[in-house]
Amino acid sequence: MDIMQVIDAALSQALGPQAIVFALAAIGLNVHFGYTGLLNFGQAGFMAVAGFGLATAVVTYDLPFFVGIVIGLVASVLLALVLGVPTLRLRADYLAIVTIASSEIIRLILGAVETKDVFGGSNGLTGFVKPFRDMNPYGGPLDLGIVSWSRNDLWSLTVGWILVAIACLIVWALMRSPWGRVLRSIREDEDAVRSLGKNVFAYKMQALILGGVFGGIAGLFHVLKQGSAVPTDFNTTFTFYAYAALLIGGAARVLGPVVGSVLFWFLIAGLGSIFGQLTSGDDPIMPTWLMTDTQSSLVRFIVLGAGLMLLMIFRPQGIFGDRREIAIDAR
Amino acid sequence: MHRRPVALLAALLVGMLMLAPGAASAEETPSPSEPTPTSAAAQPPDSEYYVAVTLIDSSKKTATSAGEPVPGVTLSVETSSGTEVGSATTDAEGRAFIPIEGGGKYKVVLDKGSLPDGVELSGGAATEKDINVFLEGATNVQFQIGVVEGTTVGFVDRFAQALVKGLKLGLIIALAGLGLSLIFGTTGLTNFAHGELVTFGAIAAFVLNHALGLPVIVAGLLAVVVSGAFGYAQDKLLWGPLRHRGTGLIAMMIVSIGFALLLRSIFQYGFGGSRRSYTEYVAQAPHVWGPVRIADKEIATILICIVVITVVCVAMARTRLGKAMRAVSDNPALSASSGMRVDGVITQVWVLGTALTGLAGVLYGIDQQVSFVMGFNLLLLIFAAVTLGGLGTIWGALVGSLIIGLFVEVAPTITIFGYQPVPDSIKNVGALVVLILILLVRPQGILGRAQRIG
């Protein structure tokens, strides 16, 4: 059992590009769910339209890279509008079902055989990432002893953490403004806000768009750090994991989603590495009748499922959350 | 009509059985999904040499599998001089074993006439393959047979066929949806783990069927009982205590997401990632009545669903328990103050709802195959069906399920000016779009009460 290897795997994932994608997506969910109380289960859909907006614009239609970025962001705003108009007037669980359904619709259409010419089918699109990589100022990989990242990852990390910092700053500034206070009052008591003469629907729509744009940025970053846009990356499970990350850190807290994502990936990668080592080799430490190599990769998801339940039952406010901010109506 | 080329991948394993059959068969099938020996699935023969063929329709390739197995295809093995040595028909997993006499040159011939309808060999594709069997060691041969999807099926036939399939799917969704609707109605919980309750029923029946060797019907009935017990345990150990703590509905919804992830991972841990069949009712020759082709198991599935749904609906309207359930779902506080044991009623709802959902899982497992994601894949359609009809209403769940089931199967058969609005590959999309459109004009669902829900 090589402890250093476990720490290396856990740390490089916890601070690596994948955690940034989760952090950005979870910041968006925090605006939706944590501050406004909207149950958006379709964050993967926002990511998909933005990521594929960029990829399709550059690869299929030969547009410049930055036009592609703009198209991606506009696509996520449009999706928020399309989803918001029918569902924001409905009860929270209806919104959940409609958003989850639409994110699946988007994923299935992107991966369909019939749209292969535009979206590249189930293999997705590649070959749009060069302008991003060309901007890389780093000369070589970084090796800190415990953790190491390649040159490309290092550039993604820099851009990604800057984006996360900017997103946090925006959320922090907005949520202490009068606008943010209205959002939080909508979460607490929608009817009271309505009786004060506020247009609840408009506020909810603005929150949906803002969180959706953060989701879109997460999608853009995801396809850029990966160098490809693949439909299956944007499945419903992703949204659930992003929720798990948000809830670990604590909803309705500016840094909650960031800390949550880092912790989420630390645990996932660490557990994966531990059980991977326990079951690998000719004479694994764990007897094979109990756990095989393929089964070992599932242990972390079992732990994650159980962890999410326990967290929600015993500490619904997460690590940083404040019980007085009853973001989720858990008592 | 366009002809769509589909690749049919046939993997030929020419195996040698020198020592114990068990050791050799382990080498033949590297996948861990080797089922327990049964009568229906093809087994490696006890002869020293045999040819093992696996027929896989690789046009239905997914991320987890190389394609769907093609059952019911006859393959024969001839010597190089043309004398037939033996023949076999592929089982539900597309496998066939043909014993041969010894090493040498052989020819494997695929019977074109036995290919399933809708799949034909293309003109240029070889139906024969020469193989060399050596005296020492196993020889693995893989080759591809090109096929095109049959184009002779007319619109009426396809439409009728889609109606039958849609009715069947709709009724299975209705069973599961009834369970979801009952639980939602009495507890207000949007249960994201409901798909896993479908899988639970199917896997429970699978274990009883394969491990204990029970017939599928007995295993299925027992699985429904086990599902009911699972519902009871869930309510006593998880949801009941949460209710007593006063945990909010949205928090419970997230708990159910965690529970779904937990159950699904455990299923995958124990069951593996592959799709497997029960021992009986795997491939049945369909009856052909005019444009309708329907197998016995499909008739049975449809009848079981209709009978069970009718019984449940009548029971909900007539019996004491049914009335109690509806009273609790209407107003728990008032029911409690009228002297009803609200908690006991909710427990009964959990048992009934999970048992119904488990039955849906068993039927779906017989109809398709059993896999750890089958319920998860069905979950959105169940949600769509129940929401479409109106959350928490029994009849609404029924109507919504039939609409969703029919729409999923029928929509792809419709072409407008040669253009297919809902292609086969994304047929679930149509149903989900219908859900969103109906919520736009009638947010409370088709049969929901027009109370304020926002």
* Whether the predicted pLDDT of B35 surpasses 60: no
CA distance B163 to chain A (A): 23
What's the mean pLDDT when you consider all of chain B?
76
pLDDT greater at residue B140 or residue B323: B323
% of chain B with per-residue pLDDT over 90: 30
Return the residue in A95, A300, A302 with the most chain B beta carbons within 10 A, the one to mutate for interface testing. Answer: A302
Positive or negative, the Cα torsion across A92, A95, A97, A103? negative
> How confident is the model at residue B17, as a pLDDT?
31
User: What CATH superfamily classification does B5-149 receive?
Assistant: Immunoglobulins (2.60.40.10)
What residues of chain A lie within 8 A of the CB of B273, using their CB? 294
Question: Minimal Cα–Cα distance from B436 to chain A, Å?
Answer: 6
Distance from CA of B103 to the nearest CA of A (A): 34
Kindly state the tokens that stand for B308: 């069970």
User: What is this structure's pTM?
Assistant: 0.78
On chain A, the residues whose CB falls within 8 A of the CB of B265 are 298, 301-302, 304-305
Whether B433 sits inside 8 A of A302 (CB atoms) is no
pLDDT higher at A269 or B83: A269
Cβ partners under 8 Å of residue A138, min gap 6: A151, A154, A155, A158
Architecture per CATH, B155-441: Orthogonal Bundle (1.10)
A102 touching B, CB under 8 A?
yes
Chain B residues closer than 8 Å to A298 by CB: 265, 268-269
* The pLDDT of residue B12: 42
Average pLDDT over residues A166-186: 94
Mean pLDDT of B66-79: 70
Q: Is A245's Cβ below 8 Å from some Cβ in B?
A: no
Chain A residue with the nearest C-alpha to that of B425: A112
Contacts of B445 in chain A (CB under 8 A): none
Please, are residues A35 and A326 in contact by the beta-carbon 8 Å criterion?
Answer: no
d(CA A58, nearest CA chain B) in Å: 25
Chain A: give the shortest CA distance to residue B223, in Å.
Answer: 24
Instruction: Test A316 with B242 for CB contact under 8 angstroms.
Output: no
- Contacting residues for A60 by C-beta, under 8 A, at least 6 apart: A117, A118, A119, A125
Q: How many whole angstroms separate alpha carbon B374 and alpha carbon B172?
A: 13
Answer yes or no: is pLDDT of B114 > 80.
no
- Cα Rg of chain B, angstroms: 25
CB pairs under 8 A between A and B: 142
Cα torsion through B433, B435, B441, B445, rounded to 10: 180
Residue from the list B247, B264, B387 with its beta carbon closest to the beta carbon of A97: B387
Q: Look at residue B116 in the predicted model and tell me its pLDDT.
A: 64
The answer on pLDDT for B31 being more than 60 is no
B373 exposed, middle or buried (CB, 10 Å; 0-12, 13-18, 19+)?
Answer: middle
Q: Work out the burial of residue A177: count CB atoms within 10 Å of its CB; fewer than 13 is exposed, 13-18 middle, 19 or more buried.
A: exposed
Q: Which residue of A has its CA nearest to B438?
A: A86
pLDDT of residue B248: 83
The more confidently predicted of residues B300 and B285 is: B300
Q: Taking the CB of residue B300, how many other CB atoms lie within 10 A of it?
A: 14
Where do the structural domains in chain A lie, given as residue ranges? Answer: 3-314
**For residue A83, what is the nearest residue in chain B, using CA coordinates?**
B436
What residues in A contact B263, CB-CB < 8 Å? Answer: 305
- What dihedral angle (degrees, nearest 10) is formed by the CA atoms of A28, A31, A37, A38? -40
Do A90 and B454 make contact, defined as CB atoms within 8 angstroms? Answer: yes
| Cβ atoms of B144 and B7 closer than 8 Å | yes
Contacts of A114 in chain B (CB under 8 A): 420, 423, 425-426
Closest C-alpha to B54, from B77, B34, B79, B29: B29
Element (H, E) at B411: none
Could you give the residue ranges of the DSSP H alpha helices within A112-249? 116-119, 130-134, 151-175, 178-188, 190-195, 200-226, 236-249
Interface ipTM? 0.90
**Within the 298-317 window of chain A, which residues sit less than 8 Å (CB to CB) from chain B?**
298-299, 301-302, 304-309, 311-313, 316
SS (H, E, C) A47-115: HHHHHHHHHHHHHHCCCCHHHHHHHHHHHHHHHHHHHHHHHCCCCHHHHHHHHHHHHHHHHHHHHCCCC
Q: Which of B248, B384, B453 sits opposite A91 (nearest CB)?
A: B453
The pLDDT mean for chain A works out to: 88
Put simply, the answer to whether B384 touches A101 (Cβ < 8 Å) is yes
pLDDT at residue number B392:
65
Q: Cβ contacts of residue A149 below 8 Å, gap of 6+?
A: A12, A16, A141, A142, A157
Residue pLDDT, tens place only, A56-109:
999 999 999 999 999 999 999 999 998 888 788 777 777 888 899 899 999 999
CATH class of A3-314: mainly alpha
> Mutating which of B257, B437, B453 best tests the A interface, going by the most A Cβ atoms within 10 A?
B257
H/E element, B6: strand B5-16
> Which range is least confidently modeled, A172-181, A314-323, B151-160, B226-235?
B151-160
Mutation target to probe the B interface, by most B beta carbons within 10 A, among A98, A289, A317 is A98
> Residue B330: pLDDT band by 50, 70, 90 thresholds?
confident
Does A100 touch chain B if contact means CB atoms closer than 8 Å?
Answer: yes
Q: pLDDT at residue A225 above 50?
A: yes
| Residue range A110-138: mean pLDDT, rounded | 87
What pLDDT is attached to residue B159?
Answer: 85
Helix/strand/coil for B111: coil
Test A114 with B254 for CB contact under 8 angstroms.
no
Q: How far apart are CA A202 and CA A207, in angstroms?
A: 9
Task: Mutate one of A94, A119, A205 to test the B interface: name it (highest B CB count within 10 A).
Answer: A94
**Contact: A100, B440; criterion CB under 8 Å:** no
- Bridge-based pairing of strands B139-149 and B119-121 is antiparallel
The answer to whether the CB atoms of A243 and B432 lie below 8 A apart is: no
Which runs of E-coded beta strand occur in B178-302? 287-289, 292-294
- Rounded to a whole number, what is the distance in angstroms from the first to the last CA of chain B? 47
Q: Is B432 within 8 Å of A101 when comparing Cβ atoms? A: yes
**pLDDT of res. B45:** 52
Type and span of the H or E element at B96: strand B95-100
Q: What is the pLDDT of residue B309?
A: 93
Are B426 and A330 within 8 A, CB to CB? Answer: no
CA distance A5 to A177: 45
Give tens-digit pLDDT for B207-227.
999 999 899 999 999 999 999
Length of chain A: 331
Which of B251, B428, B453 minimises the CB distance to A90?
A: B453
pLDDT surpassing 50 at residue B6: no
**B261/A312 CB distance under 8 A:** no
What is the separation, in whole angstroms, between the first and last Cα of chain A?
Answer: 42
When pLDDT is averaged across residues A265-292 and rounded to a whole number, the result is 83
Q: Which of A307, A211, A235, A219 is nearest to A264 (CA)?
A: A307
Average pLDDT in the B192-201 region? 96
| Chain A interface test: which of B196, B249, B250 (most A C-beta within 10 Å) | B250
By C-alpha distance, the chain A residue nearest B32 is A294
CA distance B255 to chain A (A): 5
Nearest to B86, CA basis, from B52, B120, B133, B57: B52
Q: What is the mean pLDDT of residues A126-143?
A: 86
Residue A258 banded pLDDT, cuts 50, 70, 90? very high
Q: Which residues of A touch B428 (CB under 8 A)?
A: 104, 108
Report domain extents, chain B: 5-149, 155-441
CB B128 within 8 A of CB B110: yes
Residue of B nearest to A86 (CA): B440
- Asked if the model's pLDDT at residue B305 lies above 80, the reply is yes
